[in-house]
Structure 1
Amino acid sequence: MKRYEVLKVVVILQAVCMIALTGMVLAKVWPQSDKEENEQTEKLDPPPHQGDGVEDQGGADKWNNAKHGDQIVATVNGKPITRAQLSDELYKQYGNNVLRQMMVRLAIDLEVDASNIVLSQEELERELALLAEGYGSEDLYFAAMKDQLGMSKAQVMGEMRYRILMEKIAISNISISDSDVEEYMEAHPEQFDPKLQLHLLWIVTDTQAQAESLLEKLADGEDFAQLARDYSQDEFTADDGGDLGMIDADDPFYNDVMLKIANEMSIAEIEGPIALDEGFAIIQLAGRQTNSGPTGVHLYNAVRKKLALEQAKPLRELEDELLERYGAAILK
């Protein structure tokens, strides 16, 4: 996997950390009501112990301790780490960032209501389609987010919704004329040409000899995806059978020789070894498609949005303004 893909994963992972830690911050800053706590306890209560009274009491004590954060989640040479210690450390490291994110989201909701900003289902679907382009389908995109980052479909859609709303707030007072849009499109025609995308699978090896040995196995009828799982040195794709997904045929972050070879291949054809910076690759072309992107009014709106965002305030500055506008305060 190349640099931009790693960067994308890191950025998304940071967002996931914020989501995952939100529950912890809520527990620290806004404790549950007695009723909610009792209901939660009832769900977690263990089955009655069948031993004698002393053992029963010990088990109850351990369970009561666990309810108050003393549950041991790990040990090192017999020394315990409790859930409370873990929660405290996570709170110290990430609590302020998560709390700010929660406050910003509340401020966004308030601003959306006050400004009558509308986010349609059609807009969400178009944005989702763009995000899922490189994965083959929306279902595969959601599966990738779940498998790689632990994000549920609801979490993915929630992140996307707040990002779009923030963009709408940022550009709400910025006017971009049709002539501005047309001028930009005329100056950058290459951005609107149809793009060829290739669906590639690969196996990365350390040496050419290893690649040639795997080519022999493939010639004998062994499965490409299984060989990728067993032998590929690319840890980001090996578990997925070497699947790179849909990538642009001229993607600057992939080896240009490899892409040129792939562009001339037939579906299901296998080629290699191809020399890479990190070793040698065997590739299989699983499919190709031409992505024309938005057209008509959707294209104009996409360009208009791009130009407006270039003129918008920095995100952090806009967040600060929203928090101040709605009297945000940290009470801790």
Structure 2
Amino acid sequence: MKRLVLIGLAALISVNMVGCGNDTIAKINDVKISKDEYNKIASFLYATGYVQEDKNKGINNNILSFIIDNEVAYQDAQRENIKVEDKDVNEKYEDLKETLKSNSAYKAKLDEVGVNDDFLKSQVKKDLIVSKYKENFMKNIKINDNEIKTYYDNHKDEFTKEEVRASQILISTLDDNNNVVNQEQKEKLKDKAEDILEKLKNNEDFAILAKEYSDDKNSGKDGGDLGYFSKEDKNIDFTNPVFKLEKDQLSDIIETEYGYHIVKLTDNKSVTKTLEESKEDIKNKILNQKYTQHIDSLYKNGKITIT
């Protein structure tokens, strides 16, 4: 599953393997992967949170697999003469720049390893070619209802998930431009959150305090109610501690990129999607499996060297 997830990241960015001036860590047919190029793509994936950072500072096998997957696909796309329009490249590039601009923290991390605008734009073009290659492959695959039902019957656990219902009070640490406030302001806001938590521990009404203090105005007007959600629906820094709460339990202060959260769990349940509800999801899973098998065949027919 890890490998499938990494292949899915091709929609974000892929790595360009040309002009290797540093030590080579792998060779894919005639294309070398340098340590410098590896560091750039690894920093991107770490900074955006799509891969958990490896504290060992060595080569992360998941990232290396991702790089190789995309390179063998790109090479085959070149053999098939797949091309993309400049306007699509420019549009995707501008979207990526806006994403980076909105998060100065990981933009700084990318600057440290030389991930500049020129590098990103060249990767966007390559990424779109790989995405088009994958799309072309999948549209020629037919999945019948029997395959879908068989998959559902054999993988029912994949379609059952835990959901919780919770209420929150958010004390935001972002200013009007969505930038993080300075450390002195953050400390004052944390003190404010701790004061509210103390009120709740003294049995003051959660809904009333949410309406008065929460910076999440959407849930605040409803007494902080967030409705039902799964772990995948929200930020992992938020859901990890929330899903450890018992029903009616109050959390400690939870810090995320948005600020300080105080959460009360109000309900939990297991939800299993029906076959009919799962059909499109299953079709995509099977298509991704077939695409992975196709990539494996490119591995076997190519010459991959890890140094």
Tell me if both proteins adopt one fold, taking TM over 0.5 as the criterion: no
* TM-score using structure 1 length: 0.34
Structure with greater helix share of residues = 1
